[in-house]
């Protein structure tokens, strides 16, 4: 199975890439490294099962080969307000990765006849200015 994975150099994306490759799948990782770290995927770069494309998901995505799945994990949505890379400090990039990134990954999946999945971290609070602890976040995956 060939999988395109956005946010491949992030915490969740890099671990998913590891798992997919361990299970014998080919992974095309996309990341713009705003919050992702190349150290998270360095061990995969020489793998014949992993290829990296430096890509901002808020721009058109073209992968001129067949894909089975497109997994959209790209988002600078870190709940750490002290981090210069957390979403409170990157509001535009966070919105673009979510909205335009979803549009572009769905377009890629549709063009190639692949299944698309969008991972969405969700905060549940009635106080919008209160940041929740990571343990209070819930992950939702939408499959189309």
DSSP assignment of 79-124? --TTSTTSTTT-HHHHHHHHHHHHHHHHHHHHHHT-EEEEEEEE--
The Cα–Cα gap between 50 and 52 comes to 7
pLDDT tens by residue, the chain, 144 residues: 999 999 999 888 999 999 999 999 999 999 999 888 899 999 999 999 999 999 999 999 999 999 999 999 998 866 556 566 666 778 888 889 989 999 999 999 999 999 888 765 544 444 455 454 444 444 444 444
- Tell me, what's the pLDDT at 89? 77
- Tell me, what's the pLDDT at 121? 53
- Tell me, what's the pLDDT at 38? 93
Residue 143 phi/psi, 5° resolution? -110, 130
The CATH number of residue 66's host domain is 3.40.50.720
- Tell me, what's the pLDDT at 63? 96
Query: 10: number of CA atoms within 13 Å, CB side?
Result: 20
The Cα–Cα gap between 56 and 53 comes to 9
DSSP assignment of 8-21? TTSHHHHHHHHHHH
| Domain residue limits at 71 | 2-143
pTM metric for this prediction? 0.81
Write out the two tokens for 128. 């919008």
The total domain count for the chain is 1
């Amino acid at each position: 199975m060939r999988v395109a994975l956005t946010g491949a150099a992030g915490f969740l994306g890099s671990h998913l890439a590891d798992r997919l490759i361990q299970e014998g799948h080919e992974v095309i990782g996309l990341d713009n490294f705003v919050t992702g770290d190349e150290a998270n995927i360095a061990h995969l770069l020489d793998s014949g099962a992993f290829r990296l494309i430096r890509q901002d998901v808020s721009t058109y995505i073209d992968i001129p080969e067949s894909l089975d799945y497109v997994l959209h994990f790209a988002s600078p949505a870190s709940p750490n307000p002290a981090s210069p890379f957390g979403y409170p400090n990157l509001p535009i990039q966070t919105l673009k990765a979510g909205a335009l990134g979803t549009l572009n990954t769905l377009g890629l999946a549709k063009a190639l006849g692949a299944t698309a999945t969008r991972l969405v971290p969700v905060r549940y609070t009635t106080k919008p200015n209160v940041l929740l602890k990571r343990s209070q976040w819930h992950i939702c995956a939408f499959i189309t």
